[in-house]
């Protein structure tokens, strides 16, 4: 928890959960953008734990074109290793900040944050993303597992993912809030409605404003839980703000709206862990996207304008 002012940076350089290569360089981009120094300037003690070893596509057989769970076994092993690392950090009393990497890694980061020794904490999850990531192998259009982690955390999909640490579901679907979503697959919409996930689309943000939406999301996900995990996908921002993202979608939130969302996370309190994902330096300009990500992480961890 943030009250002890101790943060552990954990790199999760995985990209085989996605359809486009390059986000494995995200942790390096964040380090190069000065994340550690920025957190030190806010008064935190910071330990860089290095990277959890991630599988490389070049060392693995190419999945079949009709594979609905691409790279399932190597990814599952990676998620389990990441979960154990995050759990160890959390039990040592440090705040886990996980640097991605594609969004499939949240299966590991959130399982790890929830795991507390032989017990599991009850977490609420704020999932800030252009996409729902609520597909299963039965609904996916691509077979890419970065489109499935949130569904698996809620107990939907293949047992290899839903029972990663032996507990299913890890998160109650009604303790999940999707914020900024604007690109959902047809059957994914059905699953989200049936599961009872709190979905706040760009339409909702346009109508009611980020302040109202985030406060509502934070309240819903905090009720009856031990704390919050925030999973921030950089593609929630408009691509004109951040060109270096794995799966860009037009008409996203502004940089100022993103800062407000993160500032509200901090003022609400009870943040237990966070991951930030989908920075693709190959597509970026002068590491701009990673620099923006550092700014947003700082806002989530207490930096203010005045």
- pLDDT tens for 41-64 read 999 999 999 999 999 999 999 999
Average pLDDT over residues 124-148: 98
Looking up tokens 């794995």 gives 246
User: What order of strands is seen across the sheet that includes strand 123-128?
Assistant: 45-51, 6-12, 95-100, 271-277, 227-233, 123-128, 176-181, 198-201
Is pLDDT above 70 for 227?
Answer: yes
Give 58-94 pLDDT, tens digit per residue.
999 999 999 999 999 999 999 999 999 999 999 999 9
Average pLDDT over residues 174-199: 98
Is pLDDT above 80 for 39?
Answer: yes
Other CB atoms closer than 10 Å to residue 274's CB: what's the count?
25
What percent of the chain has pLDDT above 90?
A: 97
Per-residue model confidence (pLDDT) at position 118: 84
Per-residue model confidence (pLDDT) at position 279: 98
Average pLDDT over residues 181-185: 98
Per-residue model confidence (pLDDT) at position 207: 98
Is pLDDT above 60 for 236?
Answer: yes
CA distances from 197 to 65, 133, 176, 269 (A): 31, 12, 6, 22
- Local confidence band at 4 (pLDDT 50, 70, 90 cut-offs): confident
In 3-state terms the chain splits into helix, strand, coil percentages (rounded to 5) of 45, 20, 35
Is pLDDT above 70 for 1?
Answer: no
- The whole-angstrom separation of Cα 65 and Cα 62 is 9
Per-residue model confidence (pLDDT) at position 25: 98
CA distances from 187 to 130, 193, 194 (A): 17, 10, 11
Full-model pTM: 0.98
Average pLDDT over residues 131-148: 98
Per-residue model confidence (pLDDT) at position 93: 96
What token pair was written down for 272?
């237990």
- The whole-angstrom separation of Cα 76 and Cα 145 is 10
- The whole-angstrom separation of Cα 304 and Cα 264 is 11
Per-residue model confidence (pLDDT) at position 117: 83
Q: Check: CB of residue 273 under 8 Å from CB of residue 6.
A: no
Torsion from C-alpha of 52, 275, 47, 121, nearest 10 degrees = -90
Phi, psi of 208 (to 5 degrees): -110, -15
Per-residue model confidence (pLDDT) at position 2: 74
What percent of the chain has pLDDT above 70?
A: 100
Task: Set out the domains of the chain in order of their start, with CATH numbers.
Answer: 2-300 (3.40.800.10)
- Local confidence band at 261 (pLDDT 50, 70, 90 cut-offs): very high
Half-sphere exposure in the Cβ direction for 182 (13 Å, CA): 19
Residues with a known catalytic role: 103, 129, 131, 133, 146, 233, 235, 278
Q: Check: CB of residue 149 under 8 Å from CB of residue 133.
A: yes
């Amino acid at each position: 928890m943030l009250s002890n002012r101790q943060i552990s940076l954990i790199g999760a350089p995985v990209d085989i959960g996605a359809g486009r290569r390059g986000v494995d360089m995200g942790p390096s981009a964040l380090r190069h953008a000065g994340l550690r120094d920025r957190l030190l300037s806010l008064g935190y003690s910071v330990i860089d734990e290095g990277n959890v070893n991630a599988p490389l596509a070049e060392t693995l057989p190419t999945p079949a074109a009709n594979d609905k769970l691409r790279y399932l076994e190597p990814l599952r092993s990676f998620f389990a290793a990441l979960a154990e690392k995050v759990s160890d950090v959390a039990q040592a009393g440090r705040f886990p900040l996980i640097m991605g990497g594609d969004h499939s890694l949240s299966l590991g980061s959130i399982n790890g944050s929830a795991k507390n020794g032989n017990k599991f904490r009850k977490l609420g999850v704020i999932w800030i993303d252009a996409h729902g990531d609520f597909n299963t192998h039965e609904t996916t259009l691509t077979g890419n597992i970065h489109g499935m982690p949130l569904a698996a955390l809620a107990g939907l999909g293949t047992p290899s993912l839903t029972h990663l640490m032996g507990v299913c579901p890890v998160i109650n679907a009604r303790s999940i809030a999707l914020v900024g979503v604007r690109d959902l697959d047809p059957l994914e919409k059905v699953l989200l409605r049936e599961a009872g996930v709190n979905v706040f689309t760009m339409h909702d943000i346009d109508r009611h404003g980020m302040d109202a939406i985030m406060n509502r999301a934070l309240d819903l996900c905090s009720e009856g839980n031990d704390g919050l995990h925030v999973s921030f996908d950089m593609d929630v921002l408009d691509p004109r703000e951040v060109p270096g993202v794995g799966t860009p979608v037009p008409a996203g939130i502004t940089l100022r709206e993103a800062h407000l969302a993160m500032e509200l996370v901090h003022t609400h309190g009870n943040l237990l862990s966070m991951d930030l994902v989908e920075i693709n330096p190959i597509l970026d300009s002068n590491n701009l996207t990673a620099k923006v990500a550092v700014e947003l992480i700082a806002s989530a961890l207490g930096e203010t304008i005045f």
